[in-house]
Structure 1
Amino acid sequence: MLTRRRFLTAAAQLALSAGCAAKEGNMDESRSPASLVARPPGSHPPRSLPGPGKHLLGLEQVRDSLLYLPPALHSADPAGLLVILHGAGGDAAAGVSLLAPLADKYGLALLAPASRQSTWDAIRHGYGPDVAVINRALDRVFRTIPVHPGQVGIAGFSDGASYALGLGLANGGLFRHIVAFSPGFIPPAPRVGKPAIFVSHGNNDSVLPIDSTSRKIVPALRRDGYDVTYREFDGGHTVTWESAREAVEWLGWEPPGHGETS
């Protein structure tokens, strides 16, 4: 764990020092290895939807992605979609478990991909196979359920939170909201748009200590002009129920059938 901590600390310093170069600028999303090209279609014709609960997408031979649908979803009502990324050593089911009860309550659809290796590619080197997996999964979901284009976000825990920040900032044209539970750093990539950001972190986190992570990440993001909601809580390296609930409510997305927000 000490080796991992030293690595993430060094990566955080690199990412923060590269902030100006990676800020929103002249680069197009399509030129970045972190870019995602899948987008919700412009219209949502009525269709037969899968039932509520977990559904394997059948796109990967190993470590397939999961789509989680709430009971409230109906074919005529575009839903909010949150891509949820597991922590190191996790899988798609671990990602879904972070927010499934709240997804039921608030009518959210969850897309939980799984990293190709034990953690997400840009945590250790650069964006690559995991971006392709997420893009394929998004494309399938957009073809399967009606998704509100203004209610697409990305979230994650631990390494998944770091990856959510990096990928979310690189794809601001797609993701309007980013939720990072206990991130370690921001993997650098050219940034597009200005998504809103929610960060929570335990003040007794011994895996990704708060002083070298979120307490540096959040001020840097604010200096770069991002709207960041930040919450610290008494606890360790975890996602508390209170943090998860506040994050979902922070999204401000109306449940399907209750009108549209942007």
Structure 2
Amino acid sequence: MVTERDKYKTGRLTVTPPGKHTAKAEFTTGVEQLSLDNKKDGFIYVPKEYDSSRPAALAVMLHGAGGSAEQGLSLLRQYADANNIILIAPAARKYSWDIIVSDAFGPDVIFIEQALELAFEKYVIDPAHVAIGGFSDGASYALCLGLTNGDLFTHLIAFSPGFVFTLENTGKPAVFISHGVNDPVLRIDPCGRRIASQLKRQGLAVNYVEFDGVHEIPAHISGSAMEWFTGRGTKSR
């Protein structure tokens, strides 16, 4: 018998990209819990001036190992209002993401799918701007899921990733990778530089940025990622 986890064992999501831009149900702006799990949940952030007549960009942002959904939300929250971006920040089922903890896709893929279904049902999303990203382990996992589901995610944002792993690749998402040249946690040569080169060889459009720093996301780096994702000048609140 095929279990729900077996259905997601390659990391493929079954949720379909947002379709026709139509008005959705009533909504509230600001931060709300996803209310998908009573122990390890997550958050959704809707920009203050969200209007269903103007499709919003969507970014799923993933925390690092041992982090929290709050950390994932904080990665781009300062840009959400000014750039009309809805943020989803799930919590990993364990201390980090499933492919890292158990060498297999499963419960985190399912939870992220549920969060996306919620957003697509409730809000009007621009299908040309659907991103998944994160920091550290969250960046690695974002690359894994993003490359597996490149027909859904148009942009991948990886702040200091450690690796990338896929069982199948779909689509050609655009990729932003940043890495500190003095990162002592995930060293730049076997991590950021290697990953960027690997993805370029696969024919992907990769915006790779190195900075003079450690395992961190300086403000100018997150700002550059936003400018790249939105296709316009960076705005913050």
Q: TM-score, normalised by structure 2?
A: 0.90
Give the number of equivalent residue pairs: 226
* Distance of 1:190 and 1:40 partners within structure 2: 18
Structure 1 residues 6-25: aligned runs within 5 Å? none
Verify: 1:54 aligned to 2:31, yes or no.
yes
1:143 CA drift (Å): 0.7
Shift of 1:65: 2.1
Partner of 1:115: 92
Aligned to 2:3: none
Q: 1:83 aligns with which of 17, 38, 60?
A: 60
CA distance in 1, matches of 2:49, 2:182: 37
- Alpha-carbon distance, 1:31 to partner: 7.8
Q: Which residue of 2 aligns with 1:196?
A: 174
Aligned to 2:151: 173
Aligned with 1:201: secondary structure?
Answer: strand
Structure 2 CA distance, aligned partners of 1:31 and 1:96? 25
Q: 1:239 aligns with which of 208, 217, 222?
A: 217
Measured after TM superposition, the shift of residue 84 of structure 1 is: 0.4
Quote the offset at 1:188 in angstroms.
2.5
Structure 1 stretches of at least 4 aligned residues deviating more than 3 Å after TM superposition: none
d(CA) in 2 for partners of 1:217, 1:197: 11
Cα drift, residue 77 of structure 1: 1.5
- The residue that corresponds to 2:80 in the other structure is 103
Contact 2:29 2:48 in 1 (8 A): yes
Residue 137 (1) aligns with residue 110 (2): no
Provide the C-alpha distance between the structure 1 equivalents of 2:91 and 2:104, rounded to a whole number of angstroms.
Answer: 16
Which runs of no fewer than 5 residues in structure 2 stay unpaired? Answer: 1-6
SS of the residue 1:213 aligns to: helix
Letter in 1 for 2:81: D
CA deviation string 1:221-246 (max 9, x = no partner): 11111110000001110111111010
Q: How far is the alpha carbon of 1:62 from its aligned partner?
A: 1.3
Indicate the residue corresponding to 2:141 in structure 1: 163
Q: Could you tell me how far apart the structure 2 residues matched to 1:185 and 1:48 are?
A: 39
Higher mean C-alpha displacement, 65-74 vs 200-209 = 65-74
For the residues of structure 1 that align with 2:181 and 2:199, how far apart are their CA atoms? 19
Report the Cα distance in structure 1 between the residues aligned to 2:201 and 2:18, rounded to whole angstroms: 34
User: How far off its partner does 1:104 sit?
Assistant: 1.8
Structure 2 counterpart of 1:37, from 7, 14, 18: 14
8 Å CA contact 1:123–1:187 kept in 2: the answer is no
1:72 aligns with 2:49: yes
Corresponding residue to 1:209 among 167, 173, 187: 187
Contact residue 144 and residue 165 of structure 2 kept, 8 A: yes
For 1:35, what is the secondary structure of its paired residue? coil
SS at match of 2:75: helix
SS at match of 1:136: helix
Structure with the larger RCO, 1 or 2 (CA within 8 Å, 6+ apart): 1
Letter in 2 for 1:199: I
Secondary structure of 1:133's partner?
Answer: helix
Q: Which stretch of the first structure deviates more once superposed, 67-76 or 40-49? A: 40-49
Cα–Cα, structure 1 residues 31 and 62, in superposed 2: closer, same or farther, change >3 Å?
A: closer
